[in-house]
Structure 1
Amino acid sequence: MKLPAFFIAHGSPLLALEDNEYTRFLARLSEDLEVPRGIVVFSAHWDSPEQLLTVDEQHETQHDFYGFPEEIYSLTYPAPGDPALSRRISELFKDHNLPHQPVLGRGLDHGIWVILQKMFPEANIPVVALSVDSLRSPHEQYQIGQMLAPLREEGILLIGSGGLVHNLRLLSEKDQPEAWAQEFDAWIAKRLETWDLPELFAFEKKAPHVREAVPSYAREHFVPLFYAMGAADEGRQAGLMIQAYQYGTLSLNCWMLD
């Protein structure tokens, strides 16, 4: 079976405790998929100049945040790893001369387990976590995703986990999203739907409100999109499955890439 790739916004860690439109969507999303043999996630919360990947047989749960209700720190997502899948990823990277390093004992950060807890609550599907490099060019990030495209034919689900509009300094208590956040998401959506790589790769110069949506200190949340897109380069089809907002500006969306 060939599985699609996804870009999935992981929002706030509080999503792990919430029951809302977005979390219910994530639960339904897994129901509509063939059960993957494994899950590979490029996480915004693992930003490194060198490509890193987990090689654990069993993952710990990172609570890599502070100031949240005590309840959230008791949540765990004890998913297994898959050393054989990690070796397969390493082989694909070697085939394309990409320097990379295995990492043992890192655990799954909240950019990974918060969404997987909703999608696959039994935590019984092996997971391999991959770092992103927010300082690489979008084209390079896309190429790394391309390297892993064969995994989709092998029953592996590829996910880029981040956030297209993710600026924690501009969150508010408003019920309605800010117009600038919607305009940025709409600009990205139009170019994703036509797979307009030149425009998307130049988003920092061309997208409206880009400094608010993708501040320099949070660029790592946007770039998982390019890794996920690269894994779907052959088909170049993008579909927006949900668009929601929290705190006025925090964009919660999911793109299926096939």
Structure 2
Amino acid sequence: MTDLLPAIFFGHGNPMNAIGQNAYTKEWHKIGKQLLRPKAILSVSAHWYVPETGVTVSTNPRTIHDFGGFPEALYQVQYPAPGDPALARRVQQLLAPQEVRLDESWGLDHGTWSVLKHVYPAADIPVVQLSIDETKPASFHFGLARKLAPLREEGVLIVGSGNIVHNLHTYAWGRHPQEPYDWALRFEAAARERMKAGEFKELINYDKLGRDATLSIPTPEHYLPLLYVLATMQQREKVHFPVEGVDGGSISMLAVQVG
């Protein structure tokens, strides 16, 4: 396959999106219809955040229900996409000399399957997950991700899954609809401007962007998958935002598509 596939960051939000039908899930499904079909997917999810770099190598990755307190129906969801050991080893090769462990114990966590269940509901495209090393700074992750860019020319869809703004302490759990907080809107708008301009330095050093960034990114795991997508951007490519919205006042559902 010689066509250059895009790379996409999804704001995955509440795990209940996996079994819901709403404006966000409808747009995710539309994206799957519009994209050139990939031969495989490499997913970087906020929910595999561990002190090492690992990549799943199982041929049949399990569906991980890595959450608590939700309706039983959510725990019954399975996303039986196959794995792709050859892609896992290709990722390992591209990221050398960084040590990348071939992992057989992890599978597909909800950051991956809650979105892909709508994008590719047939679960017939192989999926490999890459972990986020929690001991490394954002600059490390951006640099590592740049090495993954060749995969876009090899028929692999690179997916990041998290949320640009993700503050659960201020989220309106089960209450009346909450208007987006001013700080969430300001940070998302500032991030958009920098992405459209191709100016990623301040997004990498987001901790220097002030109080809005501190409130929007109290912990980095949901933000870092965005950098894995932005790092694969090629010259003259543009950034698009196919999904927009803020859930519960403090969770940005923004999707970011490169290419």
Question: TM over 0.5, yes or no?
Answer: yes
Task: Give distance in 2, aligned partners of 1:49 and 1:88.
Answer: 21
Q: CA deviation at 1:208?
A: 4.7
2:139 corresponds to: 139
Task: Give distance in 2, aligned partners of 1:224 and 1:213.
Answer: 15
**What one-letter code is carried by the residue in structure 2 that aligns with 1:253?**
L
Q: CA deviation at 1:87?
A: 1.3
2:220 alignment partner, SS class: helix
Q: 1:227-257 CA deviation, whole Å, 9 max, x = no partner?
A: 1111224445212222112112111010011
Where do 1:177-196 residues align within 5 Å? 177-196=180-199
1:67 corresponds to: 69
Instruction: Normalising by structure 2, report the TM-score.
Output: 0.94
Task: Give distance in 2, aligned partners of 1:223 and 1:236.
Answer: 21
Q: CA deviation at 1:139?
A: 2.2
Give the direction of change, closer, same or farther, for the CA distance of 1:74–1:109 in structure 2 (3 Å limit). same
Identity %: 36
1:90 corresponds to: 92
1:124 corresponds to: 124
Q: CA deviation at 1:76?
A: 0.5
Give the direction of change, closer, same or farther, for the CA distance of 1:197–1:133 in structure 2 (3 Å limit). same
1:46 corresponds to: 48
* Unmatched 5+ stretches in structure 1: none
1:241 corresponds to: 242
Q: CA deviation at 1:107?
A: 1.4
Task: Give distance in 2, aligned partners of 1:66 and 1:6.
Answer: 27
- Contact in 2 for aligned 1:166/1:221 (Cα 8 Å): yes
Q: Structure 1 or 2: larger helix share?
A: 1
List structure 1 runs of 4+ shifted beyond 2 angstroms: 133-139, 173-176, 233-237
Question: Does 2:213 match 1:200?
Answer: no
1:10 corresponds to: 12
Q: CA deviation at 1:200?
A: 1.5
Q: 1:113-143 CA deviation, whole Å, 9 max, x = no partner?
A: 0000010000000000001124423222111
- Contact in 2 for aligned 1:146/1:233 (Cα 8 Å): no
Task: Give distance in 1, aligned partners of 2:53 and 2:236.
Answer: 25
1:101 corresponds to: 101
1:239 alignment partner, SS class: strand
Question: Does 2:68 match 1:78?
Answer: no
**What one-letter code is carried by the residue in structure 1 that aligns with 2:113?**
W
Task: Give distance in 2, aligned partners of 1:112 and 1:3.
Answer: 18
* Unmatched 5+ stretches in structure 2: none
Give the direction of change, closer, same or farther, for the CA distance of 1:147–1:220 in structure 2 (3 Å limit). same
1:165 corresponds to: 165
1:221 alignment partner, SS class: coil
Instruction: Normalising by structure 1, report the TM-score.
Output: 0.94
Q: CA RMSD in A?
A: 1.4
2:255 corresponds to: 254
- Contact in 2 for aligned 1:133/1:220 (Cα 8 Å): no
- Contact in 2 for aligned 1:134/1:223 (Cα 8 Å): no
- Contact in 2 for aligned 1:187/1:208 (Cα 8 Å): no
Give the direction of change, closer, same or farther, for the CA distance of 1:205–1:227 in structure 2 (3 Å limit). same
- Contact in 1 for aligned 2:56/2:129 (Cα 8 Å): yes
